[in-house]
Structure 1
Amino acid sequence: MTEVLFYHLERQPLDAVLPPMLEKCLERGWRVVVEAGSPERVDALDALLWTFREEAFLPHGTAREPNAALHPVVLSSETVNPNDANVRFAVDGAALGPAEGFDRAILIFDGNDPDALARARDDWRRAKAAGHAATYWQQAANGRWEKKA
Structure 2
Amino acid sequence: MTRIDFHTNVGDPLAYACRLARKAYASGKALVVLAESRRLAAFDEQLWTFAPLEFVPHCMAKSPLAADTPVVLASSLDDAPHHQVLVNLGAPVPAQFARFERLIEIVGNDEEELSAGRERFRFYRDRGYAIETHKQGS
Query: Cα–Cα, structure 1 residues 27 and 81, in superposed 2: closer, same or farther, change >3 Å?
Result: farther
- Which residue of structure 1 lines up, in the alignment, with residue 55 of structure 2? 57
Deviations for 1:71-107, whole angstroms, at most 9, x for unmatched residues? 111111123352223100111x342323312111011
Q: Is the 8 A contact 2:74 2:80 kept in 1?
A: no
Deviations for 1:86-143, whole angstroms, at most 9, x for unmatched residues? 100111x34232331211101112121x2221221111111112222211111134xx
- Which residue of structure 1 lines up, in the alignment, with residue 38 of structure 2? 40
- Which residue of structure 1 lines up, in the alignment, with residue 28 of structure 2? 29
Identity %: 30
Q: Is the 8 A contact 1:87 1:103 kept in 2?
A: yes
Structure with the greater relative contact order (CA < 8 A, sep ≥ 6): 1 or 2?
2
- Which residue of structure 1 lines up, in the alignment, with residue 127 of structure 2? 130
More helix, by proportion = 2
Q: Is the 8 A contact 1:51 1:57 kept in 2?
A: no
Query: Cα–Cα, structure 1 residues 70 and 94, in superposed 2: closer, same or farther, change >3 Å?
Result: farther
Query: For residues 122 and 40 of structure 1, what CA distance do their matches in structure 2 show?
Result: 22
Please state how far the C-alpha of 1:15 moved relative to its aligned partner. Answer: 2.8
Query: For residues 47 and 140 of structure 1, what CA distance do their matches in structure 2 show?
Result: 24
- Which residue of structure 2 lines up, in the alignment, with residue 147 of structure 1? none
The equivalences for 1:61-140 within 5 A come to 61-91=59-89, 93-97=90-94, 98-112=96-110, 114-140=111-137
Specify the SS of the correspondent of 1:54: coil
Query: For residues 78 and 28 of structure 2, what CA distance do their matches in structure 1 show?
Result: 20
Normalising to structure 1: TM-score of the pair?
A: 0.81
Query: For residues 112 and 18 of structure 2, what CA distance do their matches in structure 1 show?
Result: 24
Report the more deviating stretch, 64-73 or 76-85.
76-85
- Structure 2: give runs of 5+ residues left out of the alignment: none
Query: Cα–Cα, structure 1 residues 87 and 81, in superposed 2: closer, same or farther, change >3 Å?
Result: farther
Deviations for 1:2-38, whole angstroms, at most 9, x for unmatched residues? 111111134x31232111111221232211110112x
- Structure 1: give runs of 5+ residues left out of the alignment: 142-149
